[in-house]
Chain A
């Protein structure tokens, strides 16, 4: 059973607010990822990290930022939320390229 957690599970917020989506894993994995999942289900990689103090942009441009100060924690921040940020955000981690473990996701709605 994978141990990767995301909070909150659901968030409804007004335009212009700053938000942080939390992601934590207890497996000691070096690699962590953030995906944005659109209503058509397709997954888009927006950020990834190989380890502490390492972060990279993914394939889809995003206004969000991430940090990796501790191995187990990989939060995603939006400084000023907009309706276009409404989506499902999935966090994942892995120890090797052959398997990623996913959290349950955060469904964000920006009004």
Chain B
């Protein structure tokens, strides 16, 4: 079945540091891949997505590239801000996901210090 593995947090960075949050997946066929963000006290928001191999999703300075050969979708940002402090979830939608639509990773908490 489908599964998503994320690096454990918390990840603590200083403002303007480079961010990488690792995400790898297991799925049948060619899933679509997503990053969601959850700010304190809120629900999840879609941050970016990629629907086929080698696609790059990007939004608000965040990027992730769909790497089929390494089954990865790592999230990156060149210069983080305090306002980026949140929990980040990697997710996939694929053939085995079926009606459930999305399989989520366990989330990675990012803390950015001024």
Contact = CB atoms under 8 A, between A and B. Distances in A.
Chain A binding surface, main DSSP class: strand
Contacts, number: 59
Interface of B: 32, 34, 36, 38, 41-46, 49, 51, 87, 89, 93, 97, 99-102, 104, 106-107, 109
Centre residue among B42, B99, B106 by max chain A CB count within 10 A: B99
B77 to A, nearest CB: 20
Nearest to B101: A97
> Secondary structure of the B side of the interface?
strand
B104 A43 contact: yes
Contacts of A40: 106
Interface of A: 4, 6, 31, 33, 40-43, 45, 48, 50, 56, 58-59, 90, 92, 94, 97-105
Contacts of A41: 38, 87, 106-107, 109
A90 B106 contact: no
